[in-house]
Structure formats: structure tokens, C-alpha cells
Structure 1
């Protein structure tokens, strides 16, 4: 089962491939962890919340007792913490065969009202968090014979969305990094998958909706609410097949394949929606 999921490649110390997942204690990350454990992976879960990490480890261990699960409490937005987490995981389990850059936060708001700290925090977590882990892991992964990197982005990386002045740039940046790594790392047998999840039933979405302006809610509506398990399944399947882009749902697929052509119309539509919700 493990070989089918990973192809020929490095196995961890226990003879199972290792998957590192940031933001692995809840939401999409937790769902991916549970699925990958069932496919034969040992897990390395990284998150800022120790309590949630332990809860995730307990849940996955009960479901897949044979999986070894290492947890690291770290803020991957801090380069030193990210590097130390990767080094500790590698020492404990071996070089990860899969790395899922999933840690993220969204705090929408109008640009004229949103403090600069919100912009810096989202760029630090969403983009720099992914960069720090990828940069720390890529040399060891290349030396070990390759692997897979998965970047969990957002539909906000396709075009500017009202209310996402702090969030969208961090996801645009992640998209740019993934585009570059796709071509640069290919000759080292490291494949890259860039995921654009639809609205997903996670604690993060609940928190996001607390600060989302009314116009933003109207603009982002229509894609439905997906369970984290279904989104995780779509992302893993795409990565197993070596696909670069995975965009579950009709709305995300249209944006993934036609955002450049659709952007002028989307800008006009957003302007109308914003006017209708003007305070």
C-alpha cells in the first residue's frame, strides 16, 4: 500500500514512508494525516497548538495503530523554529517523502481599516511558513532520492478579492513559489502539487467568517461547503498522480483554468457587489 502511494523511494526508519504536514492538527491537514496514515505513512505533524496536536495524534493512533506519529509544536513562520522542527523530525523518523505545506490563517478586512500587523501576520504564516519548511527540507529530500511537496493555497491566489488585501498576497506568493519549484526541482525527482481548496468546513473558516466583510461574503459565496475529508482525498489523489494543480469543485476549476480570461468580468462584478454593500 505504501509503495502504491509513494512510488519507489526513501522509506523511514520503520520501513514506512514519512509525511510531514504543517497545520496538521486540524482541518484539511488533520484529514490528510489520517488518510495518509491509512495509506502506509508515518506522520510528522507540525502546528502551534500543543493540545490540538496531541488530540490529532490520539485520534490517528487509534485509527491506525501501526503508524508512528511525531509531533512538533512550532510556528513555521519563524525560520529557526521551522528549521528545528524539520531537523528533529528527520532525526526521529527519517527524511519525509511527502511534505504538505498547509499551515495557514485568514483574517479578512477592508484595507483602510485593517492594521498592518494583520498583513504581516498572514504573509508570515501563509507564505513564509511554507517557504521556511520547503527550504529546510528540499536539500535532504533531493539527496534522499526525491519526494512530493504539496502547497495548500486558495482561490484568493487567482485574482484580487474584496476584503482579502492581507490574505490574498500571501497566497499569490505561495503560488509563485510552487510554480518555480515545480520546474527547478523536477530534475531531482521532487514533484510539486498546488492545491486550491474550496470553502472547507474547518475551524479556520469559522474564524475567517468572524471578520469577513459583507461584500466579501457575497463575492465568495456559491462554491458550497466541503468536508475536510473530501478535500483531503482530492489533494492526495492529485499528488499521487503527479498533477501540479488540484482545484476541487466547479467554481475552483473555472478559476484554475480561466482566471486570466475571467478577471475583467470578475472585477466589474465585484465592484457592483461592493457598491451594494457600502456602509
Structure 2
């Protein structure tokens, strides 16, 4: 088993979808949706036991699954795992970067490791997976890259400085990558969900600073199935920002007016340069 990939060489009878953070939450729900559409699912996650449980649950629904033990912070491991998957199953048509962590706490009360760990997992982990997977998608001339950011990537939230920074980074990365890939046939979509009913939220809530809890926890968490379905539907329709509530969609629209104008200007410049 090379680099934690549990599968034999098998040229594709079904297109491949690679999903990080795929053992639970939004990633697992995305796997179930794409699996039901006929994709072979490659689940990437760090915890072998949770991966095995997720695989069993998906296979019980008749979904083809391979599992890959992977820490997305390791760029070389990402490259090796994606290379092996691509060799065995062909280039992915979907890459869903859903792996993420959160460490609530006021910035000056946290050690530097909390900021570093969130940036390395949430942003650099996303970038590592995308860097590994997109070249084969470009060669095929098609595919969807879907990233999971957060509502905390739209506006700052006290007690979440490191998390906000990492999710702002994911959103900015997605905006820039969308421009760079605009003529390639590979689309880019980023989700900005509010609190979502996942194991990560269950871990986070007891650690949330009490002073900010009335704001940070003011709404009912969305089911992960709703967030995943909205992300995939947005990507399939060629949309960029997946904001699964009316309130977040309104906030995103206000911010999006300026960024869309700048994006179109850059796309025109790139188009002229390539002629």
C-alpha cells in the first residue's frame, strides 16, 4: 500500500472524485452526493479508523471508494497520493478540498502554534492538494475544484483570528486561481458556510470564548448535507461562491461586486497576453 492508498491498479470505469477531509462532515456528505452521481470516490483523511468507517458507510450505498491516509500539510505526500490515484484511476473530475481545523481563542491568549496549525491545515493543505491535482485536470481539459472556506472567510470574528486568517486565505486563493484557470476548462468554486453540524463544530463549541458566543453561535447550524449539496450544485452550474444561506449570499454579493470587476479586468489582461 503506497502512501496509504488502499486500492489495486484499476483503470477507470467511473470518473474520479478526490475529497480531503472526507471521513466526516461536509467532505463525507460531498462524497455521498458525488458517489450517487456515479463517481469513484477517493477519501483522504488522517484517521485510519474514521476513514474505514466512512468507506464502509459509502460502500453500503453502492458507492465505489478508495481510501488514502494523508495529512494535507505534507505537500510531498499530497503529490504522491494524487499521482498514485491518477495513475490507477485517471485524472480527477472533482477535487473537493474540505480538510480543516479550528482552534477558538483570543489571539493574544493563544500560542503561536494555534495560528500556524490552522494556516497550515486550512490554507496550505488546500493549496497542497490543488497543486498536486490540477495539472492532470488541465491536461484533460475539464474538472471542478471545490474548496471549503467559511463565513469566517467573509468577515472577521473575534476569538477566531487564526481561523479567519486561514479561511480568508482559502477564499483569496480560490479567487486568484479561478482567474488563472478561466480559459482551461477547470472551474473553481469556494464554499463559505456558517456553523455546520459536524464533528469539528462539536469540538469547537466548548472552546468558544464566552464573550463572543452570542454572536458566533447565534444561528442554528446547517446540516452538512445542505452545505455539500449547495457547493456541488454551485460548481455544476459554473458558479464561484457557494453561500448556502440568504444572509451570507447578501454579504457575499456586496463584497463580490468589487472583486468581480477586478477579476474581469485581470481575465481580459491575461487573455490579451496569451494571444
TM-score greater than 0.5 by the shorter chain: yes
Hey, what does 1:57 align to over in structure 2? Answer: 55
- 1:37 aligned partner: 35
Equivalent position of 2:19 in the other structure = 21
**CA–CA separation in structure 2 for the residues paired with 1:216 and 1:69:** 40
SS in 1 for 2:119: helix
Asked whether the equivalents of residues 23 and 46 of structure 1 are also in contact (C-alpha less than 8 Å), the reply is yes
Hey, what does 2:135 align to over in structure 1?
139
Deviation at 1:14, TM superposition (A): 3.0
Does residue 76 (structure 1) correspond to residue 76 (structure 2)? The answer is: no
Q: Distance in 1 between matches of 2:107 and 2:221?
A: 26
1:197-276 mapped onto 2 (5 Å cutoff)? 197-258=193-254
Cα RMSD over matched residues? 1.6
Structure 1: stretches of 5+ with no match in the other structure? 1-11, 262-279
Could you tell me how far 1:260 is from its partner in structure 2?
8.5
Question: How far, CA to CA, are the matches of 1:224 and 1:16 in structure 2?
Answer: 37
> Structure 1: how far apart are the matches of 2:59 and 2:139?
30
1:16-67 C-alpha deviation (Å, 9 max, x unpaired): 2111000000001001101110011001110001111111110001102xx3
User: Does the Cα contact within 8 Å between 2:14 and 2:39 map onto a contact in 1?
Assistant: yes
Name the structure 2 match of 1:179.
175
Aligned pairs for 1:68-107 within 5 A: 68-107=64-103
User: Residue 163 of structure 1 aligns with which residue?
Assistant: 159
CA distance in 2 between counterparts of 1:245 and 1:26 reads 22
Aligned equivalents of 1:30 and 1:203: distance in 2? Answer: 12
**Matched-pair contact (CA < 8 Å) for 1:23–1:102:** yes
Partner-residue secondary structure (3-state), 2:107: coil
Give the C-alpha shift of residue 177 in structure 1. 0.8
Q: Distance in 2 between matches of 1:88 and 1:225?
A: 37
> Deviation of residue 162 (structure 1)?
0.3
TM-score normalised by length of structure 1: 0.85
Residues 213 and 260 of structure 1, relative CA distance in 2, 3 Å threshold? farther
CA contact (8 A) 1:76 1:133 kept: yes
Match for 1:196 among 185, 192, 204? 192
Distance 2:37 2:243 in 1: 22
Deviation at 1:250, TM superposition (A): 2.5
The runs of 5 or more residues in structure 2 that have no matched partner are: 1-9, 258-275
Q: Taking structure 2 as the reference length, what is the TM-score of the superposition?
A: 0.86
Q: Which whole-Å CA distance do the structure 2 matches of 1:186 and 1:165 have between them?
A: 31
